[in-house]
Amino acid sequence: MIQQEIPGKPITVTINGKEYRANEGEILLSVAIREKIEIPHLCYEASLDPYGACRLCMVEVVRKGKREMATSCTLRAADGLEVLTDTPEIVKHRSILFELYLAEAPKSDVIRDMAARYGVTRTRFLKRIEQGDPLGNKCVLCGLCVRACSEIMGAGAINFINRGPYTVVNTPYYAPSRDCFGCGACVRVCPTNAIEMEDAGAERVMKSWSGTRVPLSPCECCGRYYAPRELSASVLARLDTPLKEEIARLCPECRGKHIAREEILAKHGGSAKHA
């Protein structure tokens, strides 16, 4: 269920001792992003419900002199809310979490750079390296691709498979999916660039998703194949004229991504762009 954001009344929250304006009920992490206060995060996406899986965005909430840890992506702004983002406690746990991520996604540059930014450059845990991993040992199971695919696109082509430490994301039976639109929304939202997609002639190949192939439609002017056939039809049917014209102005390389983005905007009015 997506909760529509109705801007609440203006209030003040305190982050690291400084006061900021916010709307009541607003997600604290989004306040921090707006105010350029760095809080690491992997599973937050403004157009989706708070999910709270990556645990990197934890902050300390100060209440009546007591401190309590909470994820800032699920914390709602209320008047007088006071949080600290870099206490020794937070740094300690965050570092261990980064070590766990470095072991889980050893091939991800994004994770490596992010961890380094928070002072973690090595992990004490055994690295997981799996030959032939469709996600290139980069996936951190943030779930954004799964949620974008089902909650935003309505395709439901990919999902979590198994449970606990055996969890992976892929298509059912690791077989090419008939439900995939080839929209690339998953590729776009993946924070670790783990998902591989390639356009080959008249087809788009979702290499990470069991080699799912989706037919593309050719550009009317230059004849180049550029967007999934089914998807562009459904998106174009919904777009109003100015947007159609805007699409016409875009270069073919960007259109595929743009269509996915328009779809997201059309449905939820949020930003599909991941920070």
Partner 1 sequence: MDERTLDAIIARHDAPAGRLLGILGEIQNQEGYVSRETLEMLSEKVGVRISQLYGLATFYSYFTLRPVGDHVITICMGTACHVKGAVAILEALEGLLGIKSDVTDDGKLSITTIDRKFTVEIARCFGACSMAPVLRIDGNLYGYATPEDLPGILGEYGWKP
Partner 2 sequence: MRIVSAADMEKVSRSGLRKIRPEKPRIAVGLATCGIAVGGMRVYDRIKEIIGEENPDIELARVGCIGYCREEPLVNITIPGKPLVILHRVTPGDAEEIVRAVEKGEVPVEKALCRIPLWDHITGCTQEYGAGFDGIPRYEDVPFFSHQKKVILRNSGLINPEQIDEYIAIGGYAAALKALSGMAPEAIIDEVEKSGLRGRGGAGFPTGLKWRIARNAEGDRKFVICNADEGDPGAYMNRNEMESDPHMVLEGMLIGAYAIGVSEGLIYIRAEYPLAIRRLQTAIGQAREYGLLGKDIFGTGFSFDIGIATGAGAFVCGESTALVASIEGRTGRPHPRPPRLTDPGGGLFGYPTDLNNVESWCNIPVIISKGSEWYAGIGAKGNSGTKVFSLVGKVDRVGLVEVPLGTSLNTIVFTIGNGGAGNKKVKAVQTGGPSGGCIPARLFDTPVDYESLNRIGSIMGSGGIVVMDEDTDMVDIARYFINFAASESCGKCVPCREGLKHTLLILNKILAKKATKKDLEILSDLTETIVATSLCGLGQTAPNPVLTTLAYFRDEYDALVNP
Does residue 192 interact with ligand FES by CB under 6 A? no
Of these partners, partner 2, ligand SF4, ligand FES, none, which one is at the site of residue 57 (CB under 5 to 8 Å by kind)?
ligand FES
DSSP state of 86: S
Q: What is the dihedral of CA 114, 120, 124, 127, to 10 degrees?
A: 20
Query: Using the rule CB under 6 A, which residue among 57, 102, 115, 142 binds ligand SF4?
Result: 142
- Sketch the per residue contact string, 186 through 225, with ligand SF4: x for CB under 6 A, - otherwise: ---xxxx-xx------------------------------
CB of 257 to partner 1, least distance (A): 23
Does residue 148 interact with partner 1 by CB under 8 A? no
Nearer to ligand SF4, 27 or 194 (CB): 194
Pairing of strands 212-218, 225-228: antiparallel
**DSSP per residue over 106-165, as a string?**
TT-HHHHHHHHHTT----SSPP---TT-TTTT------HHHHIIIIIS-----EEES-GG
Does residue 129 interact with partner 2 by CB under 8 A? no
Rounded-to-integer distance, Cα 115 and Cα 96, Å: 10
CB of 183 to partner 1, least distance (A): 15
Of these partners, partner 1, ligand SF4, partner 2, none, which one is at the site of residue 190 (CB under 5 to 8 Å by kind)?
ligand SF4
Of these partners, ligand FES, partner 1, partner 2, none, which one is at the site of residue 121 (CB under 5 to 8 Å by kind)?
none
Rounded-to-integer distance, Cα 241 and Cα 243, Å: 5
CB of 175 to partner 1, least distance (A): 9
Nearest to 262 by CA among 152, 149, 156: 152
